[in-house]
Chain A
Amino acid sequence: MINQDRIRNFCIIAHIDHGKSTLADRIIEMTGALTEREMQAQVLDNMDLERERGITIKAQTVRIIYKAKDGQEYILNLIDTPGHVDFNYEVSRALAACDGAILVVDAAQGIEAQTLANVYLALDHDLDVFPVINKIDLPSAEPQRVKDEIEDVIGLEAQDAPLISAKNGIGIEDVLEKVVSAIPAPKGDALAPLKALIFDSLYDSYKGVIIFCRIVDGTVKKGTRIRMMATGATAEVVEVGYFGAGQFIPCEELTAGLVGYITASIKNVRDTAVGDTVTDDNRPCDAPLPGYKKVQSMVYCGVYPADGAKYPELRDALEKLQLNDASLQYEPETSVALGFGFRCGFLGLLHLDVIQERLEREYNLDLVTTAPSVVYKVYKTDGEVIELTNPTNLPDPSEIEHMEEPIVEAEIMVTTEFIGPIMELCQQRRGIYHGMEYMEETRALLKYDLPLNEIIYDFFDALKSRSRGYASFDYDLKGYVPSSLVKLDILINREEVDALSFIVHKDGAYERGRKMCEKLKEEIPRHLFEIPIQAAVGGKVIARETVKAMRKDVLAKCYGGDITRKKKLLEKQKEGKKRMRQVGNVEVPQKAFMSVLKLDNQ
């Protein structure tokens, strides 16, 4: 049995772009887990999309053997966590699988909103956190200022923090020594009944679901009959093992304190929910580990194939993606304007973006998505409560007693010169001010409660543009509050277009309606007849624009009988029509359905 004193389970936490994944790569390199040739840039971010965007979407894990200066060999399990607020719950489960965390702070930028959010999350999980200062070779690096900031703001001892450059491999050994000395060894009971935390799972077409887990107590090996305590699913273990860099390495057994994987011919990741506890079906533990919750979709939108005939392909693609991503939800829906498609639920806008891109890239689908919506609670006069994910399904106002919308607690880190514009932005977005803390003389942390539906569209972009890219942002779902909400309908040529309806606060309805109409006027090409575009609330038109009738479209010249040139122009015209959606007798370009996302509020 492996001596738990020689195990360290840890993760790296950081604000986006502070160098988390680069440090992980260097650690893996240092310990010889991979030759340099095998080493793709950033081993742990192994989806193309992750590498391109420079963010980690799924938790990745690797076991490293490190011979420390005390002469002992240690097993280091590095659990890389997702780097985005959308995946906060996954982050929290990954943290729960660790005993300590390395906090990476950029030597030039210092503490950012996610730095704080992640540190607090780690401390909430009783992790021992030590800071390292990265990018010290940058000309703008100010390691001492950052050290002081860490001590002042977070209260972590930072004067002896390793000064490193992950990019250039400087100071990596100091980090590993610190992992051994500062992070506690696990203290599980290998003889107790099996108790393991699922912090991720993925679907493999040969092995079925691969469960990523931390063994808290007990032992698991081939043949153990396991039970997932929350979902109730049971299965017989086929294989256990640990994580090499980029590969699964089978082993005899996993004992208390270790991090590894289990396969058991499980067909669906929904049976192995993140946060659930794995135990021995024949000898179960008393109680599951704390903190499990069912993942809730925060943002919904309609996803339709641009070409209606591709509906079966879209369904298959969603099915396959869901095998790996239990947080993706979908169910079929039908839109008058867009035909057959799916209402999909996502953890947040980034998650939506990522799924949409994967559908388009990996499955070669051309999609039309409707405006994202949050989940509203509709309290009906007859006592029924509806969780509304599609604005089209809003009951008649006469049947509604009141409605509630989700709000978030947001923290925005900003340099002082931009406090004004950012506060103005939050005000516009119906934010409720909860205070401001100065991090240091030039930077402050603003706290607001914001309605989720005000931040899912373009809040992040607006934030960046008003702070010249300097503001950082983090949020957490707080709950539901009553709100005066209305459904804004869009009528094109007097026909209501279901896919363009959205829910909006009463006070913002006129403004949004007007902008929607303006935007659609730009997007819809002229037809042979005049097209009114109207925004209406409860049947009452509040804004209107008109796409004037086309008065002339004549190709006059045809020189020397060169007909093919003419035909090409006609074909282009016809091809353009194909990429449109028919709404009544109006051809609406596909991108018009996403135009609600692009209403610039500046």
Chain B
Amino acid sequence: MEKLPPISLYVHIPFCVKKCDYCDFLSAPADERVRQEYVSALVREITSYRETALARRPVRSIFLGGGTPSVLSVQQIGRILQAIRDYFYVNRDACEISMEMNPGTADREKCFELCKLGINRFSIGLQSPDDACLRRLGRIHTYRQFLDTYGWLREAGCSNINIDLMSALPGQHLGDYADGLHKVCELGPEHISAYSLILEEGTPLFDRYYSLHNATNGRGAGEDGFDSWSLPDEDEERGMYHETKRILAAYGYERYEISNYARAGYACYHNCVYWQRGEYLGLGLGAASLLSERRLKNTVDLPAYLGGRTIDEEQTLLLDEKDRMEETMYLGLRMMQGVDRNRFRETFHRTVEQVYGPVIEKYRSMGLLQTTDSHIMLTEKGVDVSNVIFADFLL
């Protein structure tokens, strides 16, 4: 067989038990009938790639994301994975198959069966080991429930687990946050994603925070007093951010991307595909793809998707050389190893300095970028303000 480039698959499951108060992703609770129809539509979409060139390429990773994919039954998830195996080229031993999972959505038996389906990496949305914080975020689970899930997955033999954590939560303080990090590290997951909470307009948390803030004019009051609701100030927030790196490093986790930490050899392959502009196919409602230098997106209209519509042509973006160079920089710099100079030159037939010389020099002199013979990367300080730097890499 000819040697074809690998591909990754993203499968979107837009359902959850209850929408979290900070969430602005494409997801909502749905009843069993809708879930069943959705799985059928997904299988139909997967089938539509039968015998295409795409389907002949080796699938190196599959990511079941959401929403909360674990709200689907084992049978439903099995159907999806089976369809992928039937119509794509999946080498079971060389494929990272990840699934997002929320505590409280799977019992012991389900955990075992999911592992049996060949899912070899789980990403658990813990967010915080502090139950009060979880309540304020509108999460449905407790730390106890998380420990159950984590334990069952280990029991079932899963050897690659990610734990999602958030910092800068309402009512969170540096001390508790650090304690929480130790607690989680002691469990020994292979991978930790640590994000700062961003209040997105239009989410209940955003509304609640601002109405409370206005009502009390910045001072605490009420039953669940403002103090427990107030967001950490800038210093504290930065403190948490830097503590994360320090504590995780002490436990042997290396930061390989702005918000992702892993033990040696456990960086998420699928995640790196996004940052290094590897090709991926998105399946499901609103799923995004990068194929043949095109960014494609499926429709976000659920009834339309259930009715058979997939790609939303209006959203298709053909990437010209300028777009590709920009992406190479602002996606590549998210990785701590940075942008590979040689790869840039081979791809664009120009050196990265020829295209971005002044910008690189500007941020290098400010101590925000660092350059070596082979790579260009963010410094520790650069990570903090990466957005500003990325915006400057737009041509």
* Partner-B contacts on A (CB < 8 A): 528-529, 550-564, 566-567, 569-571, 573-574, 577
- In the complex with contacts A561-B288, A570-B394, A553-B65 CB distance below 8 A: no
- In the complex with contacts A528-B368, A552-B238, A563-B295, A573-B391 CB distance below 8 A: yes
Question: What are 19 A-to-B residue pairs whose CB atoms are below 8 Å?
Answer: A528-B385, A551-B384, A555-B386, A556-B195, A556-B196, A557-B195, A560-B10, A560-B12, A560-B65, A560-B282, A561-B289, A562-B288, A563-B331, A564-B288, A564-B295, A567-B326, A571-B391, A573-B387, A574-B391
Of residues 370 to 392 in B, which have CB atoms within 8 Å of A's CB atoms?
Answer: 383-388, 390-392
Q: How many Å lie between the Cα of A559 and that of B300 in the bound state?
A: 14
Q: Write out the residue numbers on chain B whose beta carbons fall within 8 Å of the beta carbon of A561.
A: 10, 273-274, 280, 282, 288-290
* Partner-A contacts on B (CB < 8 A): 10, 12, 25, 63, 65, 195-196, 198, 234, 237-238, 241, 258-259, 273-274, 280, 282, 286-290, 295, 297, 315, 317, 326-327, 330-331, 366, 368, 383-388, 390-392, 394
User: Once the chains bind, are B386 and A554 in contact (CB under 8 Å)?
Assistant: yes
- Specify the chain B residue showing the minimal Cβ separation from A563: B295
CB distance from A363 to the nearest CB of B (A): 30
User: Once the chains bind, are B288 and A563 in contact (CB under 8 Å)?
Assistant: yes
- In the complex with contacts A554-B258, A573-B391, A577-B391, A559-B65 CB distance below 8 A: yes
Q: Write out the residue numbers on chain A whose beta carbons fall within 8 Å of the beta carbon of B394.
A: 570-571, 574
- In the complex with contacts A556-B195, A564-B317, A570-B330 CB distance below 8 A: yes
Q: How many Å lie between the Cα of A333 and that of B80 in the bound state?
A: 70
CB distance from A531 to the nearest CB of B (A): 14
Give the most central of A551, A558, A562, A567: most B CB within 10 Å.
A562
Q: Write out the residue numbers on chain A whose beta carbons fall within 8 Å of the beta carbon of B280.
A: 561
Beyond contacts A556-B195, A561-B282, A574-B391: 18 other A-B pairs, Cβ-Cβ < 8 A, are: A552-B196, A553-B384, A553-B387, A554-B196, A556-B196, A556-B198, A561-B273, A561-B280, A562-B297, A564-B297, A564-B315, A569-B387, A570-B330, A570-B391, A571-B391, A573-B388, A574-B392, A574-B394
Q: How many Å lie between the Cα of A574 and that of B389 in the bound state?
A: 10
Q: Write out the residue numbers on chain B whose beta carbons fall within 8 Å of the beta carbon of A570.
A: 330, 387, 390-391, 394
- Specify the chain A residue showing the minimal Cβ separation from B25: A559
How many A-B pairs have beta carbons closer than 8 Å: the answer is 94
CB distance from B282 to the nearest CB of A (A): 6
Q: How many Å lie between the Cα of A528 and that of B388 in the bound state?
A: 8
- Specify the chain A residue showing the minimal Cβ separation from B368: A528
- Specify the chain A residue showing the minimal Cβ separation from B193: A556
CB distance from A432 to the nearest CB of B (A): 42
Q: Write out the residue numbers on chain B whose beta carbons fall within 8 Å of the beta carbon of A556.
A: 195-196, 198, 258-259
Q: Write out the residue numbers on chain A whose beta carbons fall within 8 Å of the beta carbon of B273.
A: 561
Q: Write out the residue numbers on chain A whose beta carbons fall within 8 Å of the beta carbon of B196.
A: 552, 554, 556
- In the complex with contacts A528-B368, A554-B258, A563-B387 CB distance below 8 A: no
User: Once the chains bind, are A528 and B366 in contact (CB under 8 Å)?
Assistant: yes
- Specify the chain A residue showing the minimal Cβ separation from B392: A574
Q: How many Å lie between the Cα of A560 and that of B65 in the bound state?
A: 7
- Specify the chain A residue showing the minimal Cβ separation from B382: A528
Closest 7 CB pairs of A and B: A553-B387, A573-B391, A562-B288, A556-B195, A561-B274, A574-B391, A570-B391
User: Once the chains bind, are A563 and B366 in contact (CB under 8 Å)?
Assistant: no
Q: Write out the residue numbers on chain A whose beta carbons fall within 8 Å of the beta carbon of B384.
A: 551-554
Give the most central of B327, B383, B388: most A CB within 10 Å.
B388
Q: Write out the residue numbers on chain A whose beta carbons fall within 8 Å of the beta carbon of B386.
A: 553-555
CB distance from B257 to the nearest CB of A (A): 10
Q: Write out the residue numbers on chain A whose beta carbons fall within 8 Å of the beta carbon of B286.
A: 560, 562
Q: How many Å lie between the Cα of A72 and that of B52 in the bound state?
A: 96
- In the complex with contacts A559-B25, A563-B274, A571-B394, A553-B388 CB distance below 8 A: yes
CB distance from B314 to the nearest CB of A (A): 12
- Specify the chain B residue showing the minimal Cβ separation from A529: B366
Q: Write out the residue numbers on chain B whose beta carbons fall within 8 Å of the beta carbon of A558.
A: 274
User: Once the chains bind, are B385 and A552 in contact (CB under 8 Å)?
Assistant: yes
CB distance from B158 to the nearest CB of A (A): 22
Q: How many Å lie between the Cα of A555 and that of B390 in the bound state?
A: 10
CB distance from B100 to the nearest CB of A (A): 10
- Specify the chain A residue showing the minimal Cβ separation from B277: A563
User: Once the chains bind, are B238 and A551 in contact (CB under 8 Å)?
Assistant: yes
- Specify the chain B residue showing the minimal Cβ separation from A573: B391
Q: Write out the residue numbers on chain B whose beta carbons fall within 8 Å of the beta carbon of A566.
A: 330
Q: Write out the residue numbers on chain B whose beta carbons fall within 8 Å of the beta carbon of A564.
A: 288, 295, 297, 315, 317
CB distance from B258 to the nearest CB of A (A): 6
User: Once the chains bind, are A554 and B387 in contact (CB under 8 Å)?
Assistant: yes
Q: How many Å lie between the Cα of A566 and that of B196 in the bound state?
A: 16
Q: How many Å lie between the Cα of A558 and that of B282 in the bound state?
A: 14
- Specify the chain B residue showing the minimal Cβ separation from A576: B391
Q: How many Å lie between the Cα of A528 and that of B65 in the bound state?
A: 35
Q: Write out the residue numbers on chain B whose beta carbons fall within 8 Å of the beta carbon of A554.
A: 196, 258-259, 383-387
Q: How many Å lie between the Cα of A528 and that of B10 in the bound state?
A: 36
Q: How many Å lie between the Cα of A550 and that of B259 in the bound state?
A: 19
- Specify the chain A residue showing the minimal Cβ separation from B387: A553
Q: How many Å lie between the Cα of A566 and that of B330 in the bound state?
A: 10
Q: Write out the residue numbers on chain B whose beta carbons fall within 8 Å of the beta carbon of A573.
A: 387-388, 391
Q: Write out the residue numbers on chain B whose beta carbons fall within 8 Å of the beta carbon of A550.
A: 385, 388
User: Once the chains bind, are B282 and A551 in contact (CB under 8 Å)?
Assistant: no
CB distance from A574 to the nearest CB of B (A): 5
When the two chains form the complex, which single residue of B238, B241, B387 contacts A555, counting CB atoms closer than 8 Å?
B387
Q: Write out the residue numbers on chain A whose beta carbons fall within 8 Å of the beta carbon of B274.
A: 558, 561, 563
Q: Write out the residue numbers on chain B whose beta carbons fall within 8 Å of the beta carbon of A528.
A: 366, 368, 385, 388
CB distance from B11 to the nearest CB of A (A): 9
Q: How many Å lie between the Cα of A566 and that of B391 in the bound state?
A: 10
Q: Write out the residue numbers on chain A whose beta carbons fall within 8 Å of the beta carbon of B195.
A: 556-557
Q: How many Å lie between the Cα of A561 and that of B272 in the bound state?
A: 10
